[in-house]
Structure 1
Amino acid sequence: MNPSAFRQRRRDLLACALLATNLFLILFSYYLLKTVRESWILVAPEGVFFTGPKLKSLATALQALLLLALVPFYARLSQRIEPRKLLLRFTGYFVLCMLGFALALGLSLPYFGFAFYVWLGTFNVAIIAQFWSFATSVFSRDEAMKLFPTIGFGATAGGFVGAKAAGLLFSFGLSLPAIIVLAAAILILHCGIYLWVGRLRRSARGETTGKEDALSGHARAGSRLEGEEGRAIDGIRLVLRDAYLRWIVALIVLLSVVNTTGEYLLSEAVVLEAKRALALAGEVDPRAFTAAFIHDFYSDFYLAVNIAAIVLQVFVVGRLIRMGGIRAALFILPILSFFAYGLVASSASLLLIKWVKIIENGSDYSVMNTARALLFLPTSEEEKWRARQVVDTIFVRFGDMLSFVLVALVGLLNLPLSVLALLNLALVLVWAFAALQVNRGFELRSAGGLAQLASR
């Protein structure tokens, strides 16, 4: 290897390590904030209908609506603002929002927990999209194919360590507002790493070339995003006119409804257990005690979910698909969910619901995420790019909104929480039927593709 190529490879590896570190910091800070949001929104004033878990369910539905508007809004901004300035401005906006929320939490301002919950959902989508936009602008296609899997490991590690750190920091006496400020400081550090990587790549390619690459990449991104809203409409049309894609949508919507309703059941169980613990705690500040209880619970919960997802991804997913194909990947989660919510309907204890959600979320993040990627293999290029985007955004969020409708109806009718578990049980049966139809469509499409290849 000549000296020039060696220096280039060293720069590439350094840029890869820096971006993996940046993705680690993003997910680390997100999980710090995620545990804060749970304790903040669930510790709410009594006496109104939309409080605690119900307020969280409403926030999830509103978050879904805002996310539908986020992509075209970001697309318009990216056409008007140079990429480096857009990155700095967005990061500055996020930091200022975090500091404002930390102040609101410190002052115990009402319903800011609701606003924080909604905001954090948009933050997560925007900051991750911004990261990958930057990463694709500094690496060529061949470089990206080699380096992105390594960079992506930063997300897995960041989620795991962030969930663990959230509990440890709080146990060491760091307050919830201070944790938000810490996340803001991490975000400033992550912005500095962006600038470092940018300088590194410019030194590798030359100042002029680097600028031309960035601007041309920005122009290409602008032209791609210019028709984002139109492509969303085209994607919906593609989905509605194809039976296979319609069954995929049905499967994704049902999965989303069941999962989000399960999150609500978990929130209700956590709040109820916190009240029981408070009754036994003696003379303590009720609000501070409840917030600490919920924070500790969710930091342990998110840590367990991340561990489950990693173990399943590393040791189970590949073997499951090799042995049972797409059918096994599609049916494992509804089967687990059916037995799990059957148990929850009979005994809705916090420990039971916690382990149900750990298994469900861990399987969703590993097995089901892989299955969803595989489902679009026997589709056209247009369906891969347009229909899948619509399925992964609009229809997933539509499931969140349907879950809120169920939660609101059960609350307004004063029905017991076991009714939601029974509804989930019924929805899982419909979900399994949709999985059967999707598997049939996948096999037919795959067989058709093989037949076309054989006829050539």
Structure 2
Amino acid sequence: MIRRMMRWFGTPLPGVDTREHLGLIAHLSLRLFLIFAAYYLMKPVREALVLSERGAELRSYGLSIQAVVIMVLFPLYVMLSNKMVHERLYRAVTLFFCVSLLGFIVAIDAGLHVGLSFFVWSGIFSAVQVVQFWSLATDFATRRNCQFVVPWIAVGGCLGALVGAMLARMLESSYAESPELILGLSLGLLLISLIGTSSRPASREEVVADPSVTVAGALLFRLRRLARARYIRLVFLFVLLLNMLNTIGEYYLAHLVLQRWHGDREAIGMFYADYFLVINIMTLLMQLLIVPWFCRHHGLGVGLLLVIVVNLMMFGVGLMFPTLLSLFTLAKCIENGVGYSFGNTVRQLLFAPLGQHSRYHGMMLVNGLSWRIGDALQGVVVFAVVEWMGLPKKALLFVGLLLTMVWLVVVMQIRPMLDKKAKSSDGSPSSARQGAGIG
């Protein structure tokens, strides 16, 4: 029965035995389930703390701070990934996040105002933890089976996000009284995710560090690689605009929420718990029922165009009905559901043809760094439009509409490369690299 369900995600390449990959899929899906469950437990607490303490503008600027911190940490991550077995690297970084989360729990229990700092930390956690998980997952999955395995692993993340959002909704009374209890539950889930390890032995490439690679040298090498490869440049710009447009929409939603409830932490927390729950239900249904069928019959390139259309719809709804919180919330739920299912699946598959170190550095550079640069640019746009030019916040929706048209141009450049890669891939490393346009 399980193998019949798995065929819905597409027929694996010749020579890929689905039975051999059930254990791998189960292990990685469970780990991603726990990560996303912990994160979506934290998200309503994060939003309630930062909006009740700082407001929508400082929330937006907090995203820019996240980008700066990610840029500072990127060279350190490159150095660690060159010197540590990737499973050990994953565990070390996860333990660091667990210890720092424990520090926030103690600070909140002591009555300290940590809304902005926790908002910045949670954004860094989501960027680094998810990127390094997918780097590790594509290590365990070979290039030959990656396009078959990744969608199933993503289902585990969708289920975890849904369960986390449901638990957050059940604990709604804790947002004002004891948010540290919710964060403690998130901490427990992260610690559980460290139990168990992959049975796949580390390759020599994983355990032998290159002593000639310095932190600055590795960073400069990756940046030069980015500048040379047109495909990577386009993916970098695609991810940057993807997050920039999403966060502009989230800022406007936060503005409407504050207009409705002002600084009521409990009401804001309950709203975001419901909001994330609806998003995760939609994401799970799309990931299970629509994404595999759509990608199999229409290709990943058409899926990217669908993300563009949904973004145009979201900004259009906001411009036509700028004060209706319920309608804009529905548009944002649809936009996030499509982005988290179609968009995230494509983003991870784009890096499947790369080698191990290239995946770790490239995914952190593109999915991590460019994602947070999008946050930083969103903060610049908000400051320029709202503070410097003094325009109404509705003007941000018009800016988002214009940027979506730029995004469409980028996607139209990526689409033929993506379709060519999907059609020409025969599972060999060389053909995969050629299909991706990577030298």
Shorter-chain TM-score tier: 0.7 to 0.9
Spell out the pairing of 1:388-427 with structure 2 (5 A cutoff).
Answer: 390-412=365-387, 413-427=389-403
* Aligned equivalent of 2:256: 269
Tell me how far 1:311 sits from its aligned partner. Answer: 1.9
Report which of the two has the higher share of helix: 1
Correspondence for 1:39 among 48, 62, 86: 48
Whole-angstrom CA distance in 2 between matches of 1:351 and 1:420: 19
Range moving further from structure 2, 224-233 or 101-110: 224-233
* Aligned equivalent of 1:359: 334
* Higher RCO by CA contacts (8 Å cutoff, separation 6 or greater): 2
Decide whether aligned partners of structure 1 residues 234 and 426 sit closer, same or farther in structure 2, where only a CA change above 3 A counts: same
Spell out the pairing of 1:48-59 with structure 2 (5 A cutoff).
Answer: 51-59=54-62
Tell me how far 1:268 sits from its aligned partner. Answer: 0.9
**Residues 295 and 303 in structure 2, CA contact (< 8 A), matched pair in contact too:** yes
* Aligned equivalent of 1:105: 108
Correspondence for 1:429 among 375, 389, 405: 405
Correspondence for 2:167 among 161, 165, 186: 165
* Aligned equivalent of 1:206: none
Range moving further from structure 2, 161-170 or 299-308: 299-308
* Aligned equivalent of 1:204: none
Tell me how far 1:122 sits from its aligned partner. Answer: 2.4
Tell me how far 1:253 sits from its aligned partner. Answer: 2.7
Tell me how far 1:395 sits from its aligned partner. Answer: 2.5
Whole-angstrom CA distance in 1 between matches of 2:349 and 2:86: 32
**Residues 75 and 225 in structure 1, CA contact (< 8 A), matched pair in contact too:** no
Correspondence for 1:331 among 301, 305, 309: 305
Decide whether aligned partners of structure 1 residues 108 and 234 sit closer, same or farther in structure 2, where only a CA change above 3 A counts: same
1:291 aligns with 2:265: yes
Decide whether aligned partners of structure 1 residues 225 and 427 sit closer, same or farther in structure 2, where only a CA change above 3 A counts: farther
* Aligned equivalent of 2:244: 257
Tell me how far 1:387 sits from its aligned partner. Answer: 6.0
Decide whether aligned partners of structure 1 residues 331 and 129 sit closer, same or farther in structure 2, where only a CA change above 3 A counts: closer
Tell me how far 1:426 sits from its aligned partner. Answer: 1.4
Correspondence for 2:278 among 304, 309, 315: 304
Decide whether aligned partners of structure 1 residues 429 and 171 sit closer, same or farther in structure 2, where only a CA change above 3 A counts: same
**Residues 166 and 277 in structure 2, CA contact (< 8 A), matched pair in contact too:** yes
Q: Which amino acid aligns with 2:182?
A: I
* Aligned equivalent of 1:48: none
CA deviation digits over 1:151-192, x for unaligned, max 9?
A: 55432221110011011022479721211122223333444x
Q: Select the structure of larger CA radius of gyration.
A: 1
Tell me how far 1:427 sits from its aligned partner. Answer: 1.3
Tell me how far 1:374 sits from its aligned partner. Answer: 6.1
Range moving further from structure 2, 263-272 or 252-261: 252-261
Whole-angstrom CA distance in 2 between matches of 1:250 and 1:84: 29
Decide whether aligned partners of structure 1 residues 88 and 399 sit closer, same or farther in structure 2, where only a CA change above 3 A counts: closer
Whole-angstrom CA distance in 2 between matches of 1:246 and 1:34: 31
Whole-angstrom CA distance in 2 between matches of 1:246 and 1:79: 23
Whole-angstrom CA distance in 2 between matches of 1:295 and 1:77: 37
Paired-residue identity, %:
30
Whole-angstrom CA distance in 2 between matches of 1:376 and 1:98: 30
**Residues 102 and 187 in structure 2, CA contact (< 8 A), matched pair in contact too:** yes
Decide whether aligned partners of structure 1 residues 160 and 58 sit closer, same or farther in structure 2, where only a CA change above 3 A counts: same
Tell me how far 1:447 sits from its aligned partner. Answer: 9.5
Question: How much is the aligned-residue C-alpha RMSD, in angstroms?
Answer: 4.2
**Residues 308 and 359 in structure 1, CA contact (< 8 A), matched pair in contact too:** yes
1:317 aligns with 2:291: yes
* Aligned equivalent of 2:14: none
**Equivalent position SS for 1:109:** coil
Whole-angstrom CA distance in 2 between matches of 1:130 and 1:239: 19
* Aligned equivalent of 2:65: 62
Decide whether aligned partners of structure 1 residues 316 and 93 sit closer, same or farther in structure 2, where only a CA change above 3 A counts: closer
Decide whether aligned partners of structure 1 residues 415 and 106 sit closer, same or farther in structure 2, where only a CA change above 3 A counts: farther
**Residues 33 and 179 in structure 1, CA contact (< 8 A), matched pair in contact too:** yes
Q: Which amino acid aligns with 2:64?
A: A
**Residues 75 and 226 in structure 1, CA contact (< 8 A), matched pair in contact too:** no
Whole-angstrom CA distance in 2 between matches of 1:14 and 1:397: 34
1:219 aligns with 2:199: no
TM-score by length of 1: 0.73
**Residues 244 and 442 in structure 1, CA contact (< 8 A), matched pair in contact too:** no
Range moving further from structure 2, 379-388 or 303-312: 379-388
Decide whether aligned partners of structure 1 residues 90 and 335 sit closer, same or farther in structure 2, where only a CA change above 3 A counts: closer
Whole-angstrom CA distance in 2 between matches of 1:225 and 1:67: 24
TM-score by length of 2: 0.76
CA deviation digits over 1:314-362, x for unaligned, max 9?
A: 2222333344444422321222222321220232221122112111111
**Equivalent position SS for 1:43:** helix
Range moving further from structure 2, 248-257 or 59-68: 248-257
* Aligned equivalent of 1:438: 414
Q: Which amino acid aligns with 2:170?
A: L
**Residues 155 and 288 in structure 2, CA contact (< 8 A), matched pair in contact too:** no
**Residues 37 and 164 in structure 2, CA contact (< 8 A), matched pair in contact too:** yes
Whole-angstrom CA distance in 2 between matches of 1:14 and 1:259: 35
Q: Which amino acid aligns with 1:390?
A: L
**Equivalent position SS for 1:417:** coil
Structure 2: unaligned runs, 5 residues or longer:
1-18, 432-439
Whole-angstrom CA distance in 2 between matches of 1:258 and 1:121: 16
Whole-angstrom CA distance in 2 between matches of 1:293 and 1:225: 55
**Residues 136 and 144 in structure 1, CA contact (< 8 A), matched pair in contact too:** no
**Residues 87 and 136 in structure 2, CA contact (< 8 A), matched pair in contact too:** no
Decide whether aligned partners of structure 1 residues 59 and 316 sit closer, same or farther in structure 2, where only a CA change above 3 A counts: same
Q: Which amino acid aligns with 2:337?
A: G
Decide whether aligned partners of structure 1 residues 327 and 147 sit closer, same or farther in structure 2, where only a CA change above 3 A counts: closer
Structure 1: unaligned runs, 5 residues or longer:
1-9, 45-50, 202-209, 276-286
Q: Which amino acid aligns with 2:338?
A: S
- Paired residue total: 405
Q: Which amino acid aligns with 1:121?
A: G
Spell out the pairing of 1:102-181 with structure 2 (5 A cutoff).
Answer: 102-110=105-113, 112-128=114-130, 152-171=154-173, 175-181=178-184
